[in-house]
Structures are given as C-alpha cells and as structure tokens.
Amino acid sequence: MTVERRNQAVRAAVAQGLLTEEQPVTALLDVAGIRESAAALRAAFAAVTDAPVLHAFAVKATPLVPVLALLNAEGIGVEVASPGELALARAAGVRPEHTVLDSPAKTPAELREALALGIAVNADNPQELARIDALAAAGTASPIGVRVNPQIGAGSIGALSTATATSKFGVALRDEGARESVVRMFLERPWLTRLHTHSGSQGIPLARMAEGVGAVYALAEEINAAAGRQQIETVDIGGGLPVNFASEETTPTFEEYARLLKREVPGLLDGRYGLVTEFGRSLLAKHGTVLARVEYAKVSGSRPIAVTHAGVQVATRTVYDPVSWPLRIAAYDAKGRPKTGAETVQDIAGPACFAGDLLAEGRSLPLLEQGDVVAALDTGAYYFTAHYGYNSLPRPAVHGFAVSADTVEFSLVRAAQSTEEIVAEAGGDRAGALLG
C-alpha cells in the first residue's frame, strides 16, 4: 500500500462514516495492492522456471472469502489447514485442482472429504499415510504427497520456526532411519507423487529457507533414482517469505527469493518438477490497515497515552510479543488527515482490561488528542482477520478500497460483529442450561 493511497483511504473512511462512535475501529484492505502482490509472485517464478507452478495462498493468513475470491481471480489458489478453511475456499469458488490440504492433525473425515473432492493432500506422518492408504483404495483424483522436516534450525521467532529438530510438522528427515523410511514410503506407493516442506516464516532468513528447499529437492532426486523413474512430479516448497514491518519498503521480494532458489537449487527449476508455493503473510500484510478512534488522551507518570479501540482483539501477536511483532503506527487528525506537529513519546493503548494491551509503547508521534485517528499499518495478515475475543470485544468491519484519481470507493468485505451475535456465540439461547 502506498502512503498516498493509504492517506486517501483514511480520509475517505472518516468522511464516509466508516469510523464512527458506534464503530470506533475498522479495517481497510487495498485491492490494488493485493493485485500487485499476486502479479509480482506470478512473475517472479515465471522468470525462473517453465514448469507449471501453483501458487496456493495460505488461507490462515487472511481467512476472508472476498479476499480468496480476489486472489483466485488473480490466478492464486489456496492452501487450507482445517475444514473451516476449506469451506471458505469453496465458498470463494476456488477449484479443487487449485487447493492443497496441509495440517498436522487431519481427521479421517477431513481426509475422506479431500480425497472425494480431488484436492491435493500432503500427509504429515506415517500414521496419516496409513489412513490415506485405506481411503484411497477406492480411487481418488487427489495428488498425494508427504511433508518432511529438513531440520535446518530455527529463526528469530521460535514459535514460528517449523523446521527445528523437534518441530511438530512432517517427518523429521535427519532422525535415525527417517530418510530411508521416507524413501520406502514412496517405493511402496507408486501413487505418491509429491514432496512437501515448509521451512520459512517470519524471522527466517532467505538463505535458510533456500536450504530447506534444497534438502527436499535432494530427497526428491534420491527417491526418483531409487524408483528408476520420475515418481516425484511436484515439489511443494511452502511459503513463509518474511515481511518488513519496519518501513514502507517491501523486502524481501518474491523476485529475490525466486532468483536465490534458481542459484542455490537450479535442478528444482529446470523444468522437470512442477512447483507449489504457499505464501500468506507476504501477499497480504502490507495491504491492510486498522483504523481506530482515540477515545481519550491522558497522561500517566508524565507519559501521554492515547486510549483507542484497537488492541489485543485485532493485534494479538503484537500485544503479547511486541519485540517480535512491532507495528508501525500512523497518526491522523479527526478528519483523517495526516497529523502534524512536534513528535512526542507516547503510548498507543487498546480497550482491553489488562495493562499490557498496547499497540505501541514509547512511540514518537505527533501528540494524539481525543477524536484523532490512529492507523496500525501492515496488518493485512494475521491481525484483524485473526480475532481474539478478549472482553467480548467485537470483530471489526473490514472494507476493501480502490482509489481512482481523487475518489475512493469502499466495498464491505465483512460486517462488524453485533452485540447480538456476541451473545448468540456465548450461548445466549441457552441461559438456563446449567441451572437444572
């Protein structure tokens, strides 16, 4: 999202009543920015391989049906990890052949549905593969693969590091006897045609991601050699491209990563293997903004505090782990214009009833006043779409926007959650359930 587009959108959101006393927090998605990211991803891999590539968006990053439909229109499929995510993808019109199912805990019912639909399945472990053996005996159009963990180590955020020695994901490739076991899995099942790994995420450097891809490529070559034919037809390299949350710059880029893979793992991109990617955060993060009204401006211990309606419910990771997930904050006045004036060190607080509910602590910004607007930037993935119901705070409305000259048009992606809906989710129609 460019600064100019964002400023136009914020001003228009205020002018058009998207941010009100009744709805003091709302979220914006830049439609043009999302299209640009999708195009950049497609172009980056088209430049390094002539083989077919399925770019499957990780639905968990932004589980909104209109977003999935927009990406689908831009040639991007989906990677799903639950029945709910699969239902969202189907509602968005994504075809089975553009859908990949990953999860470390698939139930027999999930596997049965996936195989009946013909969507690609990556088995996480030998027990799951045994279930697939039985279910696939009746026939399926699903491409099936096995997820492996190359055990290349952690990045700077341990909770998001999926390729550690003890990761819960996939078959641990460096454990004693594991590699030989994986080769046997394939030789015993000629219909297994894919390998999958996911070594990246926020905090993982590109070089380490490429190392993980190189490990799964080497395994594919080993399996094909043992089989005496090209049994592994497609390699799913996962996603995990990190996002720069420190500035407006989009870095690293899809192009940089694709070029690195071409240099480090050239055999994977020489046309013999189809590819699947599963990028999520890197496609959407930069194109989302949370807007919140400043309800009160106060001072405590000589520190100015802007109390807003955006906190842990829309920025859970930032509130609980601000070192790993710092957010940029932009300040606007009550009319949605960029705030000016001398910068003052201040806190940006959320509405939840605990002391740590802060979007930003000790941040230098023009002094915020009651009625002003704060914008939490780079929040298009894993923020307002991963709602946390602390204090029964409602899910905010989400609006897509498009800018044309001086005109900003908004489209409602998701309506704000009503108090009636909160009560219903909390068993409101069963008030006497525990009284008997």
Quote the tokens at residue 189: 């099942």
pLDDT at 416: 97
Residue-level pLDDT at 155: 57
- The continuous run of DSSP H or E covering 299 comes out as strand 288-300
DSSP code for 356? T
Task: Find where tokens 């998207």 sit.
Answer: 18
Q: Residue 67 phi/psi, 5° resolution? A: -65, -45
Confidence of residue 159 (pLDDT cuts 50, 70, 90): low
User: Residue 230, Cβ neighbours under 10 Å: how many?
Assistant: 14
Cα–chain center distance at 271: 28
In this structure, are residues 249 and 297 in contact, taking their beta carbons and an 8 Å threshold? no
What is the Cα–Cα distance from 409 to 349, expressed in whole angstroms? 30
How far does CA 381 lie from the centroid of its chain?
5
Band (pLDDT 50/70/90 cuts) for residue 157 is: low
Phi and psi at residue 369, to the nearest 5°: -125, 165
User: CA–CA distance from 5 to each of 12, 46, 247, 376 (Å)?
Assistant: 11, 29, 16, 15
Q: Residues 89-122: pLDDT tens digits?
A: 999 999 999 999 999 999 999 999 999 999 999 9
Percent of the chain with pLDDT over 70: 95
pLDDT of residue 54: 98
pLDDT digits (tens, 9 = 90+) for 237-264: 999 899 999 999 999 999 999 999 999 9
* Residue 336: both structure tokens together: 């949605």
DSSP single-letter state for residue 183: H
CA distance 232 to 220: 6
pLDDT of residue 178: 85
**Gyration radius (Cα) of the chain, Å:** 23
pLDDT class of 153 with cuts at 50, 70, 90: low
Q: What is the pLDDT at residue 158?
A: 58
Distance of alpha carbon 91 from alpha carbon 85, whole angstroms: 10
pLDDT band at 151 (very low <50, low <70, confident <90, very high): low
pLDDT digit string, tens, across residues 208-230: 889 999 999 999 999 999 999 99
Please state, in angstroms and rounded to a whole number, the distance separating the CA atoms of residues 335 and 126. Answer: 58
Give the span between the Cα atoms of 390 and 408, in whole angstroms: 33
The per-residue pLDDT of the chain, averaged, comes to 94
Tell me the residue type at 382. Y
Rounded Cα distance between 197 and 195, Å, is 7
Q: Where are the alpha helices (DSSP H) in 321-397?
A: none
